[in-house]
Structure 1
């Protein structure tokens, strides 16, 4: 892979991360307006379908294989449930933790789970051993999470948590 290709991937990954606090903040407001966070989760997923379906049609993507759909292991369908979990928890927690606190804690959870997925090569991922530099990096991330969430005003941050 060329350095320019890597740079493009890095930029796209940063954009993917940058949309999370916007999505969470917007959905939190939607949840308040609709009367419950789960209504906002449903609305968010319906809008996702409404946005994605025209893109799929415009790209003229072939229909998925019926054989794969009927034979795929059940765990392959869990992504939707994880999406509902993330969206719903973001709706409920972002107003309480703030955007930076929620994103920092969510990122910490993502990092811990990612280290486990990589180490054991789960779900078809290539194995990447848990090395000292990777553990130190995760610990530094945890320290950063603590600074972001509690560094400004510890008593106030703890009282509101």
Structure 2
């Protein structure tokens, strides 16, 4: 557990930034279109990513006898495609009756279910892992929380 608190804080911050990004994109989609909002998010995101790459290359330069990691598989470079669809779908659903919290809750449901399936079948090179009863409880907990957010809010 020691040393992992920073990871937890960064993960929570990432979730908060995801909520902010989805909100901003939904506002832009409401004033233009979901496709335009997605294009803008990815265009501006590309510029931000370039800044981070340049800064990160200087700050986090690999050290040691073998500084370059192994070459990534070709499909690993395609992460922007589901990212674009995520932004587009979020811009559409946030402007529906689901709202921001419902959209994020159901996105979490999708992440948990896809994660369990990825583990079970070893998708994308992750180690295979058997489905255990705890996984069912996780899905039920996330579904229950999502239902509360969606159906029982004032």
Q: Please indicate, yes or no, whether the TM-score normalized by the shorter chain is above 0.5.
A: yes
Distance 1:21 1:60 in 2: 28
Equivalent position of 1:129 in the other structure: 130
Distance 1:110 1:60 in 2: 30
Equivalent position of 2:65 in the other structure: none
Superposition deviation, residue 76 in structure 1 = 3.1
Deviation string 1:85-115 (CA, Å, 9 cap, x unpaired) is 1000011101211111111111001110011
Distance 2:100 2:147 in 1: 14
Equivalent position of 2:141 in the other structure: 140
Equivalent position of 1:79 in the other structure: 79
Distance 1:127 1:106 in 2: 23
Distance 1:77 1:93 in 2: 27
1:104 and 1:52, CA in 2 relative to 1: closer, same or farther beyond 3 A? Answer: same
Normalised TM-score (structure 2): 0.83
Q: Is the 8 A contact 2:22 2:91 kept in 1?
A: yes
Q: Is the 8 A contact 2:30 2:95 kept in 1?
A: no
Equivalent position of 1:25 in the other structure: 23
Distance 2:53 2:112 in 1: 31
Which ranges of structure 2 fall in alignment gaps of 5 or more residues? 62-67
Which ranges of structure 1 fall in alignment gaps of 5 or more residues? 154-161
Whichever structure has more helix as a proportion of its residues is 1
Superposition deviation, residue 55 in structure 1 = 2.1
Equivalent position of 1:16 in the other structure: 14
Superposition deviation, residue 36 in structure 1 = 1.1
Distance 1:18 1:9 in 2: 14
* One of 45, 49, 60 as aligned partner of 2:46: 49
Superposition deviation, residue 59 in structure 1 = 3.1
RMSD: 2.1
Equivalent position of 1:110 in the other structure: 111
Equivalent position of 2:33 in the other structure: 36
Normalised TM-score (structure 1): 0.79
1:7 and 1:100, CA in 2 relative to 1: closer, same or farther beyond 3 A? Answer: same
